[in-house]
Amino acid sequence: MDTTRHARLRSLVHNINRQRRVQARKIDILCNDMIQAHRGLLERLESISFTNRIHESLVGCLDVADILRHISRLFVERFGDCSVALLLSGDRDLISYGPDTADTPAEEVARFPSFFTAENVRAVCSSNRVHLMPELLELPLQAPPRTIERFWAAAIPLAADHQDYGIVLLYSDANKPLPSAALHAACAVAPAIARAATASRHAPSCG
């Protein structure tokens, strides 16, 4: 009798411990899911906040050089060392707005936007999608491959109201590529940049 009762007790304790372990694993999974969901929510809120800051920086500022300064400052604050350029389609030629050479560590960084031709910009715009470095190399860019390969770059079409206005160019050291969040932000604000940059051609500098 005692042996049977002890066996039942051992079985009961074993089942309780097993259920505890199962329950603990479920709690761990639930906690991890909650942490991931919370992290994802924070990232989405940060993305919304960042794009809102860019939109706000464009309000009332119609000078392209000033627009570029605002965008560059915000991207550097948010994503670290990177450069931004605006390549706008002119009536006959390409109008390029790049970083000041005084603000760049190397001359090649400041020259990088000049590797693009009007045909390159039209090709990116007509595709209506983001071009990363492998696709940019196929355009091709007007520079030796050895020079271009030092960079990570993304070209985002500037389109608004069913018109193409050029591209916004994000670029950095090849060993320090920007995260996908930077591309998402650039795509989200591209129409606003296109409208502001186009309006600048018909308005004085905001000073």
Q: CB under 8 Å to 85, separation ≥6 — which residues?
A: 68, 96, 97, 98, 99, 112, 113, 168, 169, 171
Query: CB of 58 within 8 A of CB of 192?
Result: yes
User: For residue 78, how many C-alpha atoms fall within 13 Å in the half-sphere facing its CB?
Assistant: 27
Global pTM reads 0.72
User: Side by side, which strands form the sheet with 151-160?
Assistant: 94-97, 83-89, 163-173, 151-160, 131-132
Instruction: Give the Å distances, CA to CA, from 201 to 55, 75, 162.
Output: 19, 24, 19
Tell me which of 3.30.450.40, 3.40.1170.60, 3.60.21.10, 3.40.50.720 is the CATH number of domain 48-202: 3.30.450.40
Each residue's pLDDT tens digit, 162-207: 778 889 999 988 888 999 888 888 998 888 888 888 776 555 444 4
- The ranges of the chain with pLDDT < 50 are 101-104, 204-207
The angle, 0 to 180 degrees and rounded to 10, between the axes of the packed helices 2-58 and 180-199 is 20
The pLDDT score that the predictor gives to residue 130 is 93
Query: CB of 158 within 8 A of CB of 165?
Result: yes
Phi-psi region of 80 (alpha: psi -120 to 50; beta: other; left: phi over 0): left
The pLDDT score that the predictor gives to residue 106 is 57
Of 173, 204, 3, 169, which Cα lies nearest the Cα of 88? 169
The pLDDT score that the predictor gives to residue 131 is 93
DSSP codes, 33-50: HHHHHHHHHHHHHHHHHH
Sequence ranges of the domains in the chain: 48-202
